[in-house]
Amino acid sequence: MSTRTLLRDAANRAATYLEGIDSRGVAPTPDAISALARFERDLPEHPLDPSAILRELDETGSPGTSTSAGGRYFGFVIGATLPAALAANMLATAWDQNAGLVVISPTTAKLETIALRWLLDALHLPATSAAGFVTGATMANFTCLAAARHALLERAGWNVEEQGLFGAPTLTVVVGDEVHVTLLKALAMLGLGRARVTRVPADAQGRMRADLLPPLDNRTILCLQAGNVNTGDCDPMAELISRARAAGAWVHVDGAFGLWAAAAPKRAALVAGVENADSWALDAHKWLNVPYDSGVAICRDRDALRGATAVSAAYLVQGAEREPCEYTPELSRRARGVDVWAAMSSLGRSGIAELIERNCLQASRFAEGLRAAGYEILSDVVLNQVLVSFGDDETTRRVIAALQADGTCWCGGTVWHGRTAMRISVSSWATTDQDVELSLAAMLRVASWVLATH
Ligand SMILES: *Cc1c(COP(=O)(O)O)cnc(C)c1O
């Protein structure tokens, strides 16, 4: 079989998969999951035919997926993939460029520079900021915090990249009580320690209490959050950042999905002042709806980011242009910026704002419909996240399990301020208002059934 025929087959199967999403359950069936056992065989002794490999991947693999590429997946914070981003990703995969160096891949280096400029523009962040395209917000947090560590220790006369942390001046890290676990993981990997952070209490919405901020100094990294994974709410940026800056502290914002509020005029007030921070971690695979994996580490101070991540070796040719590998932990990597460029091209400024706003209105519609049926919404819905309780914890757990088995849509559970809740996250371009009504009807039907039968 020719490569052309094989790629056509792959593209056809991908399109058939996407077209079929609405007519199957959102979660894979138990049978589909059991069938994955068919993959379990030993390494083939001899080459297999590529078209047979693709057929098996599709026939056995496709049914075992969650349809998070469709419009009714509301678990975690999961975006789908915009058609333009998917298609660009497929072509860029065929290019097989190593996006780490300009000399290997002029096209991807150019597109990443442009995608970065557009991101800063859309999010109203300082236009001179530097950034690296990384796997997601976990690595974006890691990269930004490495830059913070570099800058604060450099000011104290210590070169952390050369000398390491043993014997270094002490840094203090301040986080909110609702800090995301991946930010703590980044601190752990950087030798800053998850247990030696100072935690600031949060309010009822999970926002850092500005009135309880400890004294800060120029050896402090203050970590703020835009987009609490449960409530969607954001720390009070303007006040916290101005106090931190006055003290000479470094402000890092974990804005995995919430930072996108800055791109939607009706939601931007939630993160007002965020542009005054020093670094920002952003996901593209969540709300920008590009394929996994894709995040961006953005840093106001170019030298701090390069100081933490740049390498030099005689064979790595340096030119006049931005070298992508000088801004990321990786050297060789895929061209994530191409997907970001394609997604932003296909949406435009107005499309990005519309996507964010539409998902937020859809979240509000879920809250309104559930509340009208007598169920309790556990926090104010200010962005794209909804927390609902169907009664006691056991009842809520039963409703979540029954909803997942029903297959119309998929939501996960969480514990919010001691209570079990179902969490609805609306983060997909593919979610139509009709998807919301269908899913809401399924939630109400399943909840009534659970309440009637237990
Ligand atoms: C999702 C999320 C992360 C982790 O992002 P990944 O892309 O999964 O690495 C970090 N912080 C917040 C607030 C998130 O919502």
> What is the tens place of the pLDDT at every residue in 185-223?
999 999 999 999 999 999 999 999 999 999 999 999 999
Of the candidates 251, 145, 233, the residue with the CA atom closest to the CA atom of residue 193: 145
Spatial separation of the C-alpha atoms in residues 182 and 179, rounded to whole Å = 8
Mean pLDDT, residues 251-257: 98
Please choose from 283, 285, 289, 336 the residue to mutate so as to test ligand 1's pocket, defined by most ligand atoms within 8 A of CB: 283
Mean pLDDT, residues 258-277: 98
Q: How many CB atoms lie within 10 A of CB 153?
A: 21
Which residues, in sequence order, are CB contacts of 138 under 8 Å at separation 6+? Answer: 182, 185, 186, 295
Measured in Å, how far apart are the chain's first and last C-alpha atoms? 57
- Is residue 280 over pLDDT 70? yes
134 pLDDT tier (thresholds 50, 70, 90): very high
Q: What is the DSSP string of 203-248?
A: -TTS-B-GGGPPP--TTEEEEEEBS-TTT--B--HHHHHHHHHHHT
For 319-334, what is each residue's pLDDT tens digit?
A: 678 899 999 999 999 9
Spatial separation of the C-alpha atoms in residues 26 and 410, rounded to whole Å = 6
> Ligand 1 centre from 76 Cα, in Å?
10
> Ligand 1 centre from 27 Cα, in Å?
22
> Ligand 1 centre from 252 Cα, in Å?
14
Backbone angles phi, psi at 22, to 5 degrees: -70, -20
310 pLDDT tier (thresholds 50, 70, 90): confident
Spatial separation of the C-alpha atoms in residues 289 and 228, rounded to whole Å = 19
Of the candidates 145, 251, 253, the residue with the CA atom closest to the CA atom of residue 190: 145
Please report the sign of the dihedral spanned by the C-alpha atoms of residue 99, residue 104, residue 105, residue 106: positive
Mean pLDDT, residues 311-319: 68
Average pLDDT of every residue of the chain: 97
Spatial separation of the C-alpha atoms in residues 137 and 252, rounded to whole Å = 12
β-bridge pairing 172-176 and 198-200: parallel
314 pLDDT tier (thresholds 50, 70, 90): low
Spatial separation of the C-alpha atoms in residues 320 and 323, rounded to whole Å = 8
Which residues, in sequence order, are CB contacts of 242 under 8 Å at separation 6+? Answer: 273, 276
What's the full length of the chain, in residues?
A: 454
Spatial separation of the C-alpha atoms in residues 341 and 113, rounded to whole Å = 9
Identify the pLDDT of residue 318: 63
454 pLDDT tier (thresholds 50, 70, 90): confident
State both tokens at 39. Answer: 């993959």
Ligand 1 shell residues, CB under 6 Å: 77, 136-138, 180, 182, 225, 227, 229, 254, 256-257, 283, 295
Ligand 1 atom with minimal separation from the 141 CA: 10
Identify the pLDDT of residue 317: 62
Of the candidates 79, 7, 43, the residue with the CA atom closest to the CA atom of residue 257: 79
Identify the pLDDT of residue 208: 98
Strand partners, 413: 422
- Is residue 414 over pLDDT 70? yes
Q: What angle do CA 413, 416, 418 make, to 5 degrees?
A: 110
Identify the pLDDT of residue 14: 98
- Is residue 313 over pLDDT 80? no
Q: How many CB atoms lie within 10 A of CB 89?
A: 22
Q: How many CB atoms lie within 10 A of CB 275?
A: 19
Angle between helices 3-19 and 83-95 (to 10 degrees): 160
Q: How far is CA 9 from CA 32, 47, 99, 253, in A?
A: 22, 20, 27, 43
Stretch (H or E) spanning 184: helix 181-189
For 346-394, what is each residue's pLDDT tens digit?
A: 999 999 999 999 999 999 999 999 999 999 999 999 999 999 999 999 9
Please choose from 181, 184, 254 the residue to mutate so as to test ligand 1's pocket, defined by most ligand atoms within 8 A of CB: 254
Q: How many CB atoms lie within 10 A of CB 11?
A: 12
Per-residue buried b or exposed e for 352-389, using 16+ beta carbons within 10 Å of the residue's own CB: bbebbbbbbebbbbbbebbeeeebebbbebbbbbbbbb
Ligand 1 atom with minimal separation from the 295 CA: 7
- Is residue 343 over pLDDT 80? yes
- Is residue 276 over pLDDT 80? yes
β-bridge pairing 250-254 and 220-225: parallel
Identify the pLDDT of residue 306: 95
Of the candidates 326, 299, 300, 308, the residue with the CA atom closest to the CA atom of residue 159: 308
Ligand 1 atom with minimal separation from the 293 CA: 7
